[in-house]
Structure 1
Amino acid sequence: MPTITLRLELHKPTQAKQQMYQRMTEMNTEFANWLLTHPEVNKATSKIFKEFSSETFVTNQTIREVKSQMKNQEAKTFKKMWCCFNNQNLKIEKAGAFYTVAFPTLEKKIGVPVVARPFQQAWLERIIAGTAKQGAGKLYKKKQKWVLAIAISFDVQKSQDQKAMGVDLGLRYLAVASVGTQSLFFKGNECAYIRRRYSARRRKLGKTKKLSAIEKSKNKESRWMKNQNHRISRHIVNYALAHGVGVIRMEDLTDIRNRAKSKKEAGRNLHSWAFYQLKEFIRYKAEMAGIRFEEVKAEYTSQTCKCGHREKANRKGLRFQCKRCSYTCHADLNGAINIGKAISGLAA
């Protein structure tokens, strides 16, 4: 069952409410750190909060989060533990033109209006109608705004089509998709140019020690990259739907940074683009559309010809020409075709 996270900004909370949310966060962090040292933390239930404080506070989901993170928690304390609420403590309703989300506070449980964009409204309507399942929520602050992130899971009708799409990720072309004899290319030259501009700007700012401006530039570039990956992934999944694709296959990106050969030119190497993010965007959009997603082993996908001959010399730059049968093809497209066929097998 696919799951997405809906991030809803609270609509103009009063100063008093913001202070209360801040106090809730502080209390939750203190409780989480106290819980880490409790000798019976693995057996903890909501009743354990009475040992910590005499105040009334909902901690069910916080206890689950602490138990979950203890295994991977390297630091001795949590710097910040945002308030979490399970699905039983969250309620979404529509009041007039506004959608409200009710969750426990230090005072009482009331419906708080949220800012919902059109695509978010569609999901909220599905939750209210019961066609999507609401999961746990997290209340956090980002850029002076309070946001409620809610997990949503839903059923999709899986495609019965057997047609496969292969997607190859690369340098000169960020992504190349292949479905049978049809193909889709996303050039990387424009993106590389913009990345170099960001990099050059940060070098200038670094000479003048403008650290705050450098951080803002990094954040702006990150948002731009994320938007590009959303655009590319949406185009690829729509293309798959239009061509009756039942499964999208991509290469396993484990150790992709270790496989990268060039680190010289900013904006043109595998270290400079969020390929893993792009893969995850394609994955969840495909699953939402009922298309299966599979990872394949990357070995030899760029060196193998459709006739079966495999040789490193088959590929030279963007040109693929088989040394046995003289078959010629765009090298990245040939890679996408082989990924679609999963010639090296599926990744474990």
Structure 2
Amino acid sequence: MNQTIREVKSQKKNQKAKTFQKRWCCFHNQNLKIEKKGDFYTVAFPTLEKKIGVPVVVRPYQQTWLDRIMNGTAKQGTAVLYKKKKKWYVAIPITFEVKRRKETKVMGIDLGLRYIAVASVGTKSLFFKGNPCAFIRRRYAALRRTLGQAKKLHMIRKIGDKESRWMKDMNHKISHQIVRFALANGVGVIRMEDLAGIRKRAASAKEAGRSLHSWAFHQLQTMIAYKTEMSGIRVEWVNPTYTSQTCKCGHREKENRNGIHFTCKKCGYTIHADLNGAINIAKAISGFAAQPSARVTGAPPIGVHLNPMGRGDDTPLNLGVV
């Protein structure tokens, strides 16, 4: 008997423990009802006996979507009830129609390393410097190295999660300001570049670009895309080839650009290099990118479902006492 037990234990040492995937409750739109009493919102769930109303913690930017569900201008989809870090959440996707804006102005957005984003429409522009973000990323990198030397792997993962949340928050803020800028300037179309090759722009490992080469540019474009679509602005994708080297006079030369400075070797025209890129992207000087719908996966087109119960698609309603 003892020998048998030892053999079984020996075999189990080399086996991985089985894990079970959590399956949360799903509620179709007819089984979940959103109600408002005064300034408070409740979500009614069916139980074995009856429906019960549970108060939800609603952030200010979520109230608009809940109100639209209740007044019929948005249709709710299948909600998911789940638990995360000892708190219960409900994620509610919605479908709604957006009217296209009639404005004809086109805005170009250039993404880069020294400047995370530069937007241009007409004679107006908007810049987002990369240096402050690069400084913070270097601090995270230094902290990871220190923790790595101490072999604190759990803390390294924790720091990585914190950095990812910070980057996501920054992208939300940048995309929000870009959309506000577009609406304020009567933009009907936003053009962005294909992301291929964006990491090749760092001229040296010593510059700030080293800390931004892994910036979540795809995530930023996704956020800009769905927020502009929600505002009725059309998004188009262009080929960024030569947008940083081409002058408004039509002369194209690699030496036209030197860092953030652009000076045409033919006509002498001078401008900020990233702003020049944004202007050329707005003009789509190298044509449009192939299969534009594949450039940003996850960006909801007009009329399809979206989970806007948060700043984008990841902050659902918190169930709890309000």
Q: 1:223 aligns with which of 147, 165, 175?
A: 165
Is contact 2:202–2:213 with CA below 8 Å preserved after alignment? no
Deviation at 1:80, TM superposition (A): 3.6
- In structure 2, what residue type is equivalent to 1:292? R
Contact kept in structure 1, 2:113 and 2:213, CA below 8 Å:
no
Q: Residues 318 and 263 of structure 1: is their aligned pair in 2 closer, same or farther, counting only changes over 3 Å?
A: closer
Distance in 2, matches of 1:102 and 1:218, equals 37
Query: Residue 133 of structure 1: CA displacement?
Result: 1.6
C-alpha RMSD of matched pairs (Å) = 2.3
Contact 2:147 2:156 (8 Å CA) reproduced? yes
Q: Percent identity?
A: 68
Corresponding position: 1:246 with 2:163:
no
Q: Which runs of 5+ in 1 are unaligned?
A: 1-76
Shift of 1:294: 1.3
Per-residue CA deviations over 1:80-135 (Å, capped at 9, x if unaligned) read: 44333332332212245432223345665433221111221222111111122212
Distance in structure 1 (CA, Å) of the matches to 2:262 and 2:165:
35
**Structure with greater helix share of residues:** 1
Q: 2:106 aligns to what SS in structure 1?
A: strand
Could you tell me whether the CA contact under 8 Å between 1:93 and 1:101 is conserved in 2? yes
Residues 1:212 and 1:153: Cα distance change in structure 2 (over 3 Å): same
Equivalent position of 1:54 in the other structure: none
The separation in 1 between residues aligned to 2:207 and 2:144, in whole angstroms, is: 12
1:156 correspondence with 2:122: no
Equivalent residue letter for 1:221:
E
Q: Go from structure 1 to structure 2 and tell me whether the alpha carbon gap of 1:107 and 1:143 turns closer, same or farther (over 3 Å shift).
A: farther
Aligned residues of 1:250 and 1:295 also touching (Cα < 8 A): yes
Residues 187-218 of structure 1 deviation map (CA, whole Å, 9 limit, x = unaligned):
11111001101111111111112222222211
Deviates more, 1:264-273 or 1:172-181: 264-273
Per the alignment, residue 239 of structure 2 pairs with 297
Match of 1:233 among 171, 175, 179: 175
Aligned position for 1:268: 209
Report matched runs for 1:321-340 at 5 Å. 321-340=263-282
Determine which of 302, 305, 308 is the counterpart of 2:250. Answer: 308
Are 1:193 and 2:98 an aligned pair? no
Partners of 2:159 and 2:40 lie apart in 1 by: 35
Given that residues 163 and 247 in structure 1 are in contact (C-alpha distance below 8 angstroms), is that contact kept between their aligned partners in structure 2? yes
Partner Cα separation in structure 2 for residue 263 and residue 307 of structure 1: 30
- Please identify, of 106-115 and 148-157, the stretch whose mean Cα deviation from structure 2 is larger: 106-115
Corresponding residue for residue 178 of structure 1: 120
| Residues in 2 aligned to 1:275 and 1:281: alpha-carbon distance in whole angstroms | 10
* Aligned residue among 48, 59, 77 for 1:117: 59
1:346 and 2:288 aligned: yes
Structure possessing the higher relative contact order (Cα contacts under 8 Å, 6 or more residues apart): 2
Aligned with 2:26 (options 81, 84, 95): 84
Asked if 1:320 is matched to 2:320, the reply is no
- DSSP 3-state at the match of 1:209: coil
Amino acid at match of 1:268: G
Q: Distance in 2 between matches of 1:131 and 1:162?
A: 26
Unaligned runs of 5+ in 2: 1-18, 291-322
The match for 1:45 is none
Instruction: For 2:207 and 2:53, locate their aligned partners in 1 and report how far apart those are by CA, in whole Å.
Output: 48
Provide TM-score, normalisation by structure 1: 0.72
CA distance in 2, matches of 1:178, 1:313: 23
Amino acid at match of 2:269: Y
- Aligned match of 1:133: 75
Aligned match of 2:6: none
State the number of aligned residues: 271
| Displacement of 1:273 | 0.9
CA distance in 1, matches of 2:49, 2:144: 47
TM-score (ref. length: structure 2): 0.77
After superposing the two structures, state which structure 1 stretch, 169-178 or 137-146, moved more. 137-146
Rounded Cα–Cα distance in structure 2 between residues aligned with 1:210 and 1:107: 50
Runs ≥4 residues deviating over 6 A: none
CA distances 1:46-77 after superposition (whole Å, capped 9, x unpaired): xxxxxxxxxxxxxxxxxxxxxxxxxxxxxxx9
Look up the equivalent residue of 1:188 and give its one-letter code.
G
